[in-house]
Amino acid sequence: MTATVRVAMIGHAFMGAAHSQAWRAVHRFFELDVHPQMAVLVGRDPARAAEAAATLGWQESATDWREVVRRDDVDLVDICTPGDTHAEIALAALGAGKHVLCEKPLANTLAEATRMTKAARSAAGNGVRSMVGFTYRRVPAVALMRRMVADGAIGTIRHIRGQYLQDWIVDPDFPLVWRLQQERAGSGALGDIGAHILDLAQFVSGQRITGVAAQTETFVRRRPLARGGGALGAATAQADGPMGEVTVDDAAVLLARTDGGALGTFEATRFATGRKNRIMLEINGSDGTLAFNFENMNALEYYDASRGDLAGFTTIPVTEPTHPYVGAWWPPGHGLGYEHAFIHQARDFLEAIATGTDPQPSFAEGTGVQHLLEAVLASAADHARWTDVGT
pLDDT (0 to 100) of residue 238 = 62
Q: How far apart are CA 19 and CA 106, in angstroms?
A: 16
Domain ranges of the chain: 3-136, 139-336+369-381
What CATH number is given for 3-136 in this structure? 3.40.50.720
Helices (H), the chain: 14-29, 46-56, 65-69, 86-95, 110-124, 140-150, 182-185, 189, 195-205, 338-355, 363-381
pLDDT digits (tens, 9 = 90+) for 75-95: 999 999 999 999 999 999 999
pLDDT (0 to 100) of residue 235 = 63
pLDDT (0 to 100) of residue 94 = 98
Q: How far apart are CA 51 and CA 250, in angstroms?
A: 33
Q: How far apart are CA 264 and CA 283, in angstroms?
A: 9
Helices (H), 182-245: 182-185, 189, 195-205
Nearest CA to 30 out of 298, 342, 317 is that of: 342
pLDDT (0 to 100) of residue 227 = 76
Q: Give pLDDT tens digits along the chain (391 positions).
A: 679 999 999 999 999 999 999 999 999 999 999 999 999 999 999 999 999 999 999 999 999 999 999 999 999 999 999 999 999 999 999 999 999 999 999 999 999 999 999 999 999 999 999 999 999 999 999 999 999 999 999 999 999 999 999 999 999 999 999 999 999 999 999 999 999 999 999 999 999 999 999 999 999 999 999 876 544 545 666 657 899 999 999 999 999 999 999 999 999 999 999 999 999 999 999 999 999 999 999 999 999 999 999 999 999 999 999 999 999 999 999 999 999 999 999 999 999 999 999 999 999 999 999 999 999 999 999 999 999 998 8
Q: Determine how many CB atoms are found less than 10 A away from the CB of residue 351.
A: 17
pLDDT (0 to 100) of residue 391 = 83
Q: How far apart are CA 130 and CA 123, in angstroms?
A: 9
> In sequence order, what DSSP letters do the residues of 277-292 get, joined into one string?
SEEEEEEEESSEEEEE
pLDDT digits (tens, 9 = 90+) for 27-55: 999 999 999 999 999 999 999 999 999 99
Residue 196 contacts residue 134 (beta carbons within 8 Å)? yes
pLDDT (0 to 100) of residue 236 = 65
CATH superfamily of 139-336+369-381: Dihydrodipicolinate Reductase; domain 2 (3.30.360.10)
Nearest CA to 39 out of 67, 7, 61, 71 is that of: 7
Residue 83 contacts residue 184 (beta carbons within 8 Å)? yes
Q: How far apart are CA 124 and CA 324, in angstroms?
A: 27
In degrees and rounded to multiples of 5, residue 5 shows phi and psi of -110, 115
pLDDT (0 to 100) of residue 2 = 75
Q: How far apart are CA 198 and CA 372, in angstroms?
A: 8
Is this structure's pTM higher than 0.85? Answer: yes
CA angle 302, 321, 335 (to 5 degrees): 70
pLDDT (0 to 100) of residue 359 = 97
Q: How far apart are CA 70 and CA 67, in angstroms?
A: 5
Q: How far apart are CA 129 and CA 378, in angstroms?
A: 32
CA torsion sign for 7, 11, 12, 15 is negative
